[in-house]
Each structure stands twice: as C-alpha cells, then as structure tokens.
C-alpha cells in the first residue's frame, strides 16, 4: 500500500530553514533597514499588532524571476514549484580556504556521481557553512577595508550549466546573502538564472542538517502582488 502524505509527514523530521526576520538580521547593504513598531497593544487595545517596514529582499527570502528581468513576479510562481526535492551540494571544504569560493559545474556532477541524476522538479542548495555567521552581521557580510563584501555563492558557470543542462532544477538556494559572491558587482548568477523563469532562495538556515539527497523542500513564498520576491518560511522534510 502506498504511503499517504500525512503518514509521510508524521514519520519525517521537519527542519526550519528560515532565519527569524528582525531588524538585527544581516542585510545586503543596498537595502533599507528593517523597521518594526508596535501599533496595538493587547493590554491597552485588547489585541496585538505590529507594523513592519522592509525591502522585499531581506532575511530568508525568495528571489522571483522578475527580480532580474524575468516575467514572473513572486505571487505568480507556480505553486507546484514551491514543493521540490532538495539536492544539497556541500562546498564547505573549499569555502574554508576561500571566502569567495563558488559552486562549479563539477560540484553538480560530483553530486550526481554519488547520488544519481538530479531528481525531477528539484532545488539545488549550496551548503557553504556561512549560515553559522548569521548572528554577527559583520562576519556574515565580511566586508574588507574597502567595504567590498566577501562570501561564497554559486558561480556563473554552474548557473548556466543548470539552466541549460538540468531543466528539472526549478530553484537554487544557499546559506549566504546572495546567489552571487560578495564582491560581485554585475550579479552574473542572478542574470543567468532568474530571467529563465526559475527562482532563488537566499539566507537559508540549518542547511547542514539537510541530507545531500532525499529531503523535500516546502517554500513558503509570499504573495506580494507584482513583487520581486520577499521573506519566506522554508521547511525541509527529512
């Protein structure tokens, strides 16, 4: 007898891959600070409400195709593409020696040599180990004396390879502040990936707890009408 979805969920462990959104979370420097203020107080008003102000790309968030010239805004991402198999590519060893290390096509091919072809309708997630720095904005953004950021990400060649050769990959994501490395100024990964109708996920948490293969990803993308992306709750079923 086939296992039902409720049975599958009951038997699995659910991991939260999202950092809580707060004014203290490291923010890519081009964006306005996250601001939050109390609007209604339960003691005074009988109910509790806070007002939030933030740019769409803060905290753990989705980059919709429209963020870099694609046609699809965040609320129009196909719901079927928010439920994806997860393929976790571990590049922590290389990052330890190079803060600007990138995921390369060979990393994808090495994953496939160990685990088989990338699954149908999947997300490729880069485990860089950078998420451990998220509690310290200076360490996470890692700016040098010239205010150039340094952190790992996908490489342009890997994004182009996945877009051209692995159509089953519908999203890429990672545990750093951008799909592109910190010092990038022209964002070639965003340019290679997003306009083709696929999306990205940045600032993932707890990625080291997700197995290389076999997990299921649930991406709680926001429904901002006409939005380029937005904060997301991302869960993994392992």
Q: Can you give the CATH number for the domain in which 63 is found?
A: 3.50.30.50
Q: What is the DSSP letter of 76?
A: G
Q: How far apart are CA 152 and CA 189, in angstroms?
A: 12
Q: Is pLDDT at 4 greater than 70 in this prediction?
A: no
Residue pLDDT, tens place only, 178-192: 999 999 999 999 999
- CA-to-CA distance for 4 and 12, rounded, in angstroms? 12
SS3 187: coil
Residue 12's pLDDT is what?
Answer: 82
pLDDT level of residue 3 (50, 70, 90 thresholds): low
Grouping H, G, I as helix, E, B as strand and the rest as coil, residue 146 is coil
Asked if residue 35 is part of any domain, the answer here is no
How far is Cα 188 from Cα 180, in angstroms, rounded to an integer? 7
- pLDDT exceeds 90 at position 84: yes
Structure confidence by residue, pLDDT tens digits, 133-155: 999 999 999 999 999 999 999 99
For residue 45, is it within any domain? no
CA atoms within 13 A on the CB side of 16: 6
Distance CA 28, CA 36 (A): 18
pLDDT of residue 9: 72
For β-strands 61-63 and 199-202, DSSP reports them as antiparallel
Reported as a single tens digit per residue, the pLDDT across 194-230 is 999 999 999 999 999 999 999 999 999 999 999 999 9
Range of the domain at 185: 5-29+56-237
Cβ-contact 155, 107 below 8 angstroms: no
Report if residue 43 sits inside a domain: no
Q: Rounded to two decimals, what is the model's pTM?
A: 0.96
147-174 average pLDDT score: 98
Q: In this structure, is residue 72 part of a structural domain?
A: yes
What residue has token string 């205010």?
147
Domain count, the chain: 1
Assess if residue 85 is contained within a domain: yes
Span 98-106, mean pLDDT?
98
In order, the DSSP letters of 193-219 are: HGGGT-EEEESB-SGGGS-SSSEEEEE
3-state secondary structure of 234: strand
* 51 part of a folded domain: no
Ranges assigned E (strand) in the chain: 14-16, 35-40, 49-53, 61-63, 83-90, 102-103, 122-127, 153-154, 169-174, 199-202, 215-220, 229-231, 233-237
- Give pLDDT, residue 8: 65
In a domain, 50, yes or no: no
Q: Within a domain: residue 86? A: yes
Average pLDDT, the chain: 96
Mean pLDDT in residue range 45-72: 98
């Amino acid at each position: 007898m086939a296992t039902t979805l409720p049975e599958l969920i009951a038997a699995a462990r659910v991991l939260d891959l999202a950092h809580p959104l707060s004014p203290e979370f490291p923010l890519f420097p081009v964006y306005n600070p996250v601001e939050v203020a109390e609007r209604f107080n339960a003691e005074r008003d009988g109910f509790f409400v806070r007002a939030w102000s933030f740019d769409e790309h803060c905290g753990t968030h989705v980059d919709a195709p429209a963020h870099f010239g694609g046609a699809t805004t965040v609320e129009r991402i196909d719901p079927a593409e928010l439920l994806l198999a997860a393929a976790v590519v571990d590049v922590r060893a290389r990052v330890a020696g190079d803060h600007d290390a990138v995921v390369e096509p060979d990393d994808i091919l090495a994953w496939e040599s160990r685990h088989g072809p990338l699954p149908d309708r999947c997300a490729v997630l880069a485990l860089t180990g950078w998420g451990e720095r998220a509690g310290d904005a200076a360490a996470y953004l890692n700016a040098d004396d010239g205010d150039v950021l340094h952190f790992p990400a996908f490489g342009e060649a890997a994004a182009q390879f996945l877009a051209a050769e692995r159509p089953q990959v519908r999203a890429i994501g990672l545990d750093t502040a951008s799909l592109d490395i910190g010092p990038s100024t022209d964002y070639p990964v965003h340019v290679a990936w997003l306009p083709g109708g696929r999306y990205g996920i940045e600032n993932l948490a707890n990625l080291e707890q997700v197995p290389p293969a076999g997990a299921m990803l649930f991406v709680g993308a926001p429904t901002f009408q006409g939005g380029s992306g937005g904060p997301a709750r991302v869960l993994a079923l392992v």
